[in-house]
Structure 1
Amino acid sequence: MDFFAALCLVLVIEGLLPFLAPRAWRETMLRLARFSDGQLRMIGLLSIAAGLVSYWITVALLG
């Protein structure tokens, strides 16, 4: 159940920028589309690492 709650929160967070600033979001997506596969993979890897570290810190602090 917690996993699905987390996925729902991801959708809420992902939807905030296109809702609040659609022009800036569109420009950002166009810039990202021009990145090479290697650059996109690095962004993905850094996002995974940041997520895992934040999760680890949250669990360690809040138990």
Structure 2
Amino acid sequence: MKSWLFSSFGLMLILEGLMPLFFPEGWRNTFRKMITMKGGQIRFMGLISFSLGLIFLFLGR
């Protein structure tokens, strides 16, 4: 269980790091746009991201 959890967390960090590594200006602009969004919009984006993650997790099993 622990190895699966650490592997998943490591993969998430790798994927999260790709945008600022290869496209730092695009990453910065994205965060500028997110600052102007309302809380509900950010929550909706989080829900979509969470849902897609669950779908990918179940498809990968």
TM-score normalised over the length of structure 2: 0.90
SS of the aligned residue for 2:60 comes to: helix
Deviations 1:13-63 (A, max 9, x none): 11111010101110011101111000000001111111111111111xxxx
What amino acid is aligned across from residue 32 of structure 1 in structure 2?
Answer: M
CA RMSD between the two structures: 0.7
CA distance in 2, matches of 1:9, 1:54: 13
Query: Which consecutive unaligned segments of at least 5 residues does structure 2 have?
Result: none
Who is 2:50 aligned against? 48
- Aligned counterparts, 1:16-35, within 5 A: 16-35=18-37
Identity of aligned residues (%): 32
Who is 2:12 aligned against? 10
Q: Could you list the structure 1 runs, at least 4 aligned residues long, displaced by more than 6 angstroms after superposition.
A: none
